[in-house]
Chains A and B, each alone.
Chain A
Amino acid sequence: MNDILMDVKNLKKYFKTKKGPLHAVDDISFQIKRGETLGLVGESGCGKSTTGRVILKLIEATGGEVIFEGEDVLKLNKKDTRTFRENAQFVFQDPFASLNPRMSISQIISEPLIINKKAADKDDLMKQVRKLMDTVGLALRLENVYPHELDGGRRQRVGIARALALNPKFIVHDEPVSALDVSIQAQVLNLLGDLQKELSLTYLFISHDLGVIKHVSNNIAVMYLGKIVEMSDYKSMFLAPEHPYTKALLSAIPVPNVDITRERIILEGDVPSPINPPPGCRFYGRCFQRKDSCKDIDPELKETTPGRFVACHVVNEGKA
């Protein structure tokens, strides 16, 4: 079960703005193995959510390929897109905005089944809906309840049930727990983990929360301003970050021990505008290890050690 389910190559998404193209996702590539979770982490506005939406065709890509089970989904026609969407689903960040306030829970969960004609009749439909509710741990008495009557955790479970309804192989989680209380975050994360094991799902897990990412991911990709700057398995990422941005990011995790003081790397300056970004390394202006060559040449994502990719001149030269 170690083959690659999702292979993203040179994916680009530029938004048109009045000032010029906004490079939301700028030439990123990654692979996700079947049954594994890739955690996509980065600060606000770095293109994480856009990446998730583009690979599920919720927004049109500007360029690149998204190969899902051997097929480039960006080139699919309308009918095949539908089939693809049965296999790849999305769980949204905000459980308050992602559920239609005028539909009851059972209506929301049954919608994918109705649209894709997965139920033989009404009884079958309700049976499937109840099973889904049971799978995600929603009490069945809630089936005729409306979203505004539920708390955030239950709403997110509804969103997960909706995503599971079509029996997908791949789910993009766009910050599924960032809108929830910490205690409920843990419940939902455990649910996601259980579901992954039971249903052998593959996840792309988008979050800005390093703790959450560490908990759920097999591999982690760190994004900065539309680019992946470092990608490796979760252990080596947290033990020995190589890219200066990752180092700074990880140094910001609080340690629950008053006796330990960690050296905190504080970055200076702001994230540059993604509209017409300058040539060279995107991180140049804030980097504490920068060299002159970083200013003009954009570093490529290179494999430094097997399974570990870093996009940094300093790191790559040091290794070479």
Chain B
Amino acid sequence: MTNVNPQKQMSKEAMAPEKFAGTKRLDRFMEVWRRFRRNPLAVAGLVMILLMGVLAISADWIAPGTEFDPGYDIQNLPARLVRPGDTFNTGFLDDYGNPIYESVGIFGTDHLGRDMLGRIAHGSRITLLVAFLVVTISMTLGVTLGAIAGFYGGVSDNIIMRVIDVILAMPTILLAITIAAALDPGLHTIIIAVGVGAIPGYARITRAQVLTLRDQEFVEAARSVGANDFRLIRKHILPNCMAPIIVEATMGLAGAIASAAALSFLGIGLAPPTPEWGAMLADGRRFMLAGEWHMTVFPGVAIAMIIFSLNMMGDGLRDAFDPRLRSAGFSKKRFKRQLQAIEAKKAGAKEV
């Protein structure tokens, strides 16, 4: 349009555009955040996850390592299996010949005298790392495959979706065990094993979204100005189907943590000194009946809490992204109404 109509003066606004630069870029995000904030459970979940992040960051401060041992593997054998709040006999005598007792960390110690709090703190790093890597990898693959299947349809759709169906046909945990058993043990094995099982979810969601979006007029409009397929998918289709994918990813974080813990619990995850929460749970299982509850309860609660918070946040995000799909949540009023309905039914049944 540069050679058009040189006589026509540009308007005043055109002369000084800087003044009018908009500030509405963040509006959509703020709108989602505003709705998210109104959901107390979701906010609680977010806070919990942030706390977990703080725990992971401060692990080296909570349980500093030594020259020889990492912070999660400092064994203090006299302090084996000390419950929270208990003291243990250090084996030393004080000046009067009495044995010296010392207290341990607030979560107690495990069967090798390692501080449980330190191990859980260090474990949160692994848990979060595994969760984020699994989700990143499976989301990237799943979204790519789903987008290709949905956008091109036909043969590629058939091939991709049948492979996805095959993965879906196997129970996730069984699939993960099979993959983990086939590869060398280690962090990458867990990530691959858990990640493969998560791909179908992303692929299906993305495909469904792409199918509805690819025939939209704005996609056709972009094509009519010369955009190629890659640009159409990347710039026009994917940004418009991110909301359900983000929700799936949040939920997927929880699922990945659970699966990784399950693998470690079964002993096919990370090698022993690693403070993976699932592995700690497996360690504690042996001592549970002997009354050493703290070895199972703390890792168990840690796993449960992070999964719970992620699920809460995922629910909140879904509602925030799409107010029309708002899930009802708990309401006292409706609970009362339902109770009344049940009672009325009972009363009616008696009369008959």
Binding site for B on A (CB under 8 A): 56, 58, 82, 85-86, 89-90, 92-94, 97-104, 111-112, 115-116, 126, 128, 130-135, 139-146, 149, 159, 162, 164-167, 198-199
The complex places the Cα of A129 from the Cα of B311 at a distance, in Å, of 44
**B221-A199 in contact (CB<8A):** no
- A144→B22 contact, CB < 8 A: yes
Q: Which of A58, A82, A131, A162 contacts B220 (CB 8 A)?
A: A58
Across the interface, which residues of B come within 8 angstroms of A134, CB to CB?
10-11, 13-14
Question: What is the distance, in angstroms, from A28's C-beta to the closest C-beta of chain B?
Answer: 21
- Tell whether, in the assembled complex, residue B17 and residue A140 are in contact, meaning their CB atoms are under 8 Å apart: yes
27 residue pairs bridging A and B, Cβ less than 8 Å apart: A92-B220, A97-B218, A98-B221, A100-B222, A100-B235, A100-B240, A102-B236, A102-B239, A104-B22, A111-B225, A115-B226, A116-B225, A131-B1, A131-B14, A132-B1, A133-B14, A134-B14, A135-B4, A140-B13, A140-B20, A143-B17, A143-B21, A145-B22, A146-B28, A159-B221, A167-B1, A198-B8
Complex interface residues of chain B between 115 and 131 (CB less than 8 A to chain A): none
A274 to chain B, nearest CB (A): 20
Asked if A128 and B1 sit within 8 Å, CB to CB, the answer is yes
Residue of A nearest to B220 (CB): A58
A174 to chain B: closest CB distance in Å?
Answer: 9
Bound form: Cα–Cα A121–B14 in Å: 19
Residues of A within 8 A of B5 (CB): 198-199
> Are A143 and B22 in contact, CB atoms less than 8 angstroms apart?
yes
Contacts of B239 in A (CB 8 A): 100, 102
Shortest Cβ distance from B23 into chain A, in angstroms? 7
> Which of B10, B222, B224 has a CB less than 8 Å from the CB of A131?
B10
B67 at the interface (CB under 8 A from A): no
Most buried by A among B28, B221, B240: B221
Rank and list the top 7 A-B pairs by shortest CB-CB distance, nearest first: A144-B22, A141-B20, A112-B225, A98-B217, A97-B217, A102-B239, A140-B13
- Cβ of B6 to closest chain A Cβ, rounded Å: 11
Chain B interface size band reads 35 or more
Which residues from A are CB-within-8-Å of B14? 130-131, 133-134, 140
CA distance A98 to B217 in the complex (A): 4
Task: Give the number of residue pairs across the A-B interface with Cβ within 8 Å.
Answer: 112
Q: A99-B218, A134-B10 are in contact. Are A58 and B1 (CB under 8 A)?
A: no
Q: Which one, B3, B24, B28, B218, contacts A144 given CB within 8 A? A: B24
Asked if B27 CB lies within 8 Å of chain A CBs, one says: yes
Chain A residue at smallest Cβ distance from B216 = A97
How far apart are the CA atoms of A185 and B142 in the complex, in Å? 45
Contact A115-B13, Cβ < 8 Å, known A104-B25, A144-B23: no
Distance between A258 CB and nearest chain B CB, rounded to angstroms: 40
Q: Which residues of B contact A89 (CB under 8 A)?
A: 224-225
Report if B34 contacts A (CB, 8 A). no
Is there contact, CB below 8 Å, between B225 and A165?
yes
- Does residue B223 face the partner (Cβ distance < 8 Å to A)? yes
Known: A134-B10, A139-B13; 15 extra A-B contacts, CB below 8 A, are: A85-B224, A85-B226, A93-B217, A98-B221, A100-B222, A100-B235, A111-B222, A111-B227, A115-B225, A128-B2, A141-B20, A144-B24, A146-B28, A162-B221, A199-B4
Task: Report which residue of B11, B13, B216, B231 has the largest number of chain A beta carbons within 10 angstroms of its beta carbon.
Answer: B13
Query: A44–B342 Cα gap in the complex (Å)?
Result: 53
Q: How far is A55 from B59 in the complex, measured between Cα atoms in Å?
A: 66
User: Contact string, B314-335, partner A, CB cutoff 8 A, digits 1/0?
Assistant: 0000000000000000000000
Decide if A131 touches B2 in the complex (CB within 8 Å).
yes
How would residues 283 to 314 of chain B score, 1 for a CB under 8 Å from any chain A CB and 0 otherwise?
00000000000000000000000000000000
How far in angstroms is the closest Cβ of chain B from A181? 20
- By a CB distance below 8 angstroms, the chain A residues around B217 are 92-94, 97-98
